[in-house]
Amino acid sequence: MLGNFLIGLREGLEAAVIVSILVAYLVKAGRRDVLPRVWAGVTAAVAVSLAFGALLTYGPRGLTWEAQEAIGGTLSIVAVAFVTWMIFWMAGASRTLSRQLRDRVDVALDAGKWSLAAVAALAVGREGLETALFLWAATNAATSDGAGATDPLVGAALGIAVAVGIGYLMYRGAVTINLGAFFRWTGAFLIVIAGGVLAYGVHDLQEAGIVGGLNDLLFDVSAQVPPGSWYGTLLKGIFNFSPQTTEREAAAWLGYVVIVGAAFWWKLSRAHRPARADRTVSHMEEPIS
């Protein structure tokens, strides 16, 4: 549940910060008349994200077992690709997010009032679709091992609720967060989580017969880490750890974590060099409200 809580918190905070900046900028500019359209865009984005999650959950039912495994494995890999892109994007964009959004708001206001609704819908919708896809992959992995299907959803819902609360407090000026540090450390943790989802996606493709090596176990620690134990459940829920791991699952996990982790820290080291000369921008200390 902790891993999904972090996903909900991170993705939810991205969306909450975006909405807070949009609303605060419009209030400052004296354009409260446009706010209902912003909320309409946000509502539409949430509705589309929920519909996408429902489609992922109920769409594959009725297919053969092999087809379901193939779809599950493919979508897990797609989810990892989206989350990886999001991690790298936030690593470089957190310092200039406020300025970028305000520039887009000015363009949207010039184009028409409903254009701003589209800006809000696209900004929030992207986070919502990424969250729905990644949570579906996590839920699919949890239920396959007999865990509760609601556990990942509850964890994510709690994370999103906390993110909304933080976003509101940031808008009111009651709290400030070093967004650069937040996205840096959560990004590092999500790389490990995404590695587990990728490994599980490979396992699904092995079950479907698309990828071989299903019986080539690298290790089997089921006796030491029973799937039904509290620590087995904890490792599965956070890191997607499987006591029975094939060679190709392990290779996928290790390759992803090492390569993406190294690239992530390299990008951070380059992106934050100018930040030392401008601490205000780097730490997002500019007040939202």
Percentage of the chain exceeding pLDDT 70: 75
CA 56 to chain centre: 16
Pairing of strands 217-220, 244-246: antiparallel
Is pLDDT of 281 > 60?
no
Contact criterion met (CB below 8 Å) for 160 and 80: no
d(CA 107, CA 97): 16
List pLDDT tens digits, range 177-195: 676 777 778 788 888 888 8
Is pLDDT of 148 > 90?
no
Contact criterion met (CB below 8 Å) for 283 and 180: yes
What number is the average pLDDT over the span 256-273? Answer: 83
174 — pLDDT class (breaks 50, 70, 90)? low
pLDDT value for 285: 42
Is pLDDT of 165 > 50?
yes
Contact criterion met (CB below 8 Å) for 217 and 242: no
Contact criterion met (CB below 8 Å) for 159 and 14: no
